[in-house]
């Protein structure tokens, strides 16, 4: 008797045509995944529940139930036709990046999911996001502002180092590990509303709960870092940021906030289009490092930087922070997410565009 090896199906007995004679009947083989078993070759079980040896030298080679049934129907033997071919119907993804329309649909789905979360989960996930922002902000303050030699000889490089270290990693953690960041949600949740998937009250619920959670997370990291003994390495950058961020007039701060969250939402958008961890990291690195390097305004980041600067001695009050920075920055961030991202891409690929052209939505 001869044996034929089929990948993933073990050894199947074959009889030559001389021995089979008229009794040989070809049986169509249907590709089927083998049942789950522990990695590395654990115990296998037969359909009746009996355990088979894990060794690859078993005298009774494993066959899936469908093969056993076909073998019984063919008189105990499965005859394999050498000309059997496998055809694949439908689209097979070969690209690691989605198309722009696909990204938009994915953004609407993500916003729908976020808006349907219960309020307490949004708050908790927002708190986690605020913690990630604080961790990334502490890294940024430790590296960039303390590069004295580079800052004196090459200030542009020093600013890029400041932008590239810390915050891209924070956004990557927020997206990959799962949490609710208010600024990114301004685009995702509004997209879901534009597509008619959620009510506007659900959008407001998500924004309010995410913002509240972000505040709690940043406050928690402030409490932690002020008791770690690491303030000397954080104070130089934190004090300078607190003074810088509260000194500009309302219009300038508002416009810088639009640009900042435009970058952040682009990073979120690109992460939706990337299918690998490395692709998501690259998607975060460029836009986030750009907004930090340029000196733009992000409301959740400022909830960590400015209070920390006030704590280490910056000549700024919390009232100044609220009026001169947090309010205009929050409004500017909302404009970027809702108008620059969600509305523009809805006109291009979504419901707003279909209303203008009169086209029906395709499946």
Which pLDDT score, from 0 to 100, does residue 143 have? 81
Distance, in Å, from the CA atom of 323 to the CA atom of 27, rounded to the nearest integer, reads 78
Say if 167 falls within a structural domain. Answer: yes
- 170 contacts 329 by C-beta, under 8 angstroms: no
Kindly report which listed range (145-149, 219-223, 351-355) carries the lowest average pLDDT score: 145-149
Say if 55 falls within a structural domain. Answer: no
Q: Residue 45 above 60 pLDDT?
A: no
Phi, psi at 348, each rounded to 5°: -80, -40
Kindly report which listed range (71-75, 160-164, 178-182, 341-345) carries the lowest average pLDDT score: 71-75
Domain count, the chain: 1
Say if 255 falls within a structural domain. Answer: yes
Q: Exposed (0-12), middle (13-18) or buried (19+): which is 353, by Cβ within 10 Å? A: middle
44: which strand partners? Answer: 52
For the segment 205-227, what is each residue's pLDDT rounded down to a tens digit? 999 999 999 999 999 999 999 99
Q: What does the pLDDT average to over 98-115? A: 96
Domain residues for the domain of 202 are: 100-355
User: pTM, whole model, 2 decimals?
Assistant: 0.73
Say if 360 falls within a structural domain. Answer: no
Q: Exposed (0-12), middle (13-18) or buried (19+): which is 60, by Cβ within 10 Å? A: exposed
Distance, in Å, from the CA atom of 191 to the CA atom of 203, rounded to the nearest integer, reads 10
Say if 296 falls within a structural domain. Answer: yes
Q: Residue 76 above 70 pLDDT?
A: no
Distance, in Å, from the CA atom of 198 to the CA atom of 344, rounded to the nearest integer, reads 19
Say if 91 falls within a structural domain. Answer: no
More confident residue, 205 or 55: 205
Say if 60 falls within a structural domain. Answer: no
Cα atoms in the 13 Å half-sphere on the side-chain side of 183 = 33
Q: Exposed (0-12), middle (13-18) or buried (19+): which is 22, by Cβ within 10 Å? A: exposed
Domain CATH for 227: 1.20.1080.10
Say if 32 falls within a structural domain. Answer: no
Helices (H) and strands (E) in the chain, counts: 17, 4
For the segment 253-269, what is each residue's pLDDT rounded down to a tens digit? 999 999 999 999 999 99
């Amino acid at each position: 008797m001869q044996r034929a090896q089929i990948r993933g199906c073990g050894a199947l007995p074959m009889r030559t045509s001389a021995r089979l004679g008229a009794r040989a009947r070809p049986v169509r083989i249907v590709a089927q995944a083998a049942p789950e078993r522990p990695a590395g070759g654990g115990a296998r079980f037969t359909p009746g529940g009996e355990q088979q040896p894990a060794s690859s030298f078993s005298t009774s080679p494993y066959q899936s139930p469908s093969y056993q049934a076909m073998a019984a129907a063919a008189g105990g033997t499965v005859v394999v036709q050498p000309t059997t071919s496998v055809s694949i119907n439908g689209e097979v993804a070969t690209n690691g990046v989605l198309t722009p329309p696909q990204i938009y649909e994915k953004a609407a789905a993500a916003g729908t999911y976020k808006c349907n979360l219960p309020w307490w989960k949004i708050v908790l996930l927002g708190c986690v996001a605020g913690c990630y922002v604080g961790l990334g902000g502490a890294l940024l303050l430790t590296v960039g502002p303390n590069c004295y030699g580079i800052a004196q000889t090459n200030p542009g490089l020093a600013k890029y180092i400041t932008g590239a270290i810390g915050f891209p990693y924070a956004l990557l953690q927020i997206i990959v590990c799962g949490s609710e960041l208010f600024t990114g949600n301004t685009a995702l949740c509004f997209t879901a509303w534009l597509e008619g998937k959620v009510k506007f009250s659900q959008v407001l619920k998500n924004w309010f709960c995410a913002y509240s959670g972000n505040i709690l997370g940043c406050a928690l990291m402030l409490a932690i870092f002020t008791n770690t003994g690491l303030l000397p390495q954080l104070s130089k950058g934190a004090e300078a940021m607190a003074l810088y961020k509260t000194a500009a007039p309302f219009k300038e701060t508002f416009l810088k906030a639009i640009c900042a969250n435009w970058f952040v939402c682009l990073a979120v958008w690109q992460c939706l289009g990337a299918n690998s961890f490395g692709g998501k990291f690259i998607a975060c690195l460029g836009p986030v490092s750009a907004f930090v390097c340029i000196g733009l305004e992000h409301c959740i980041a400022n909830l960590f930087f400015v209070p920390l600067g006030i704590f280490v001695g910056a000549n700024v009050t919390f009232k100044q922070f609220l009026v001169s920075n947090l309010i205009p920055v929050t409004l500017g961030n909302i404009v970027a997410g809702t108008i620059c991202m969600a509305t523009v891409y809805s006109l291009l690929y979504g419901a707003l565009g279909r209303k203008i052209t009169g086209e029906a939505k395709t499946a």
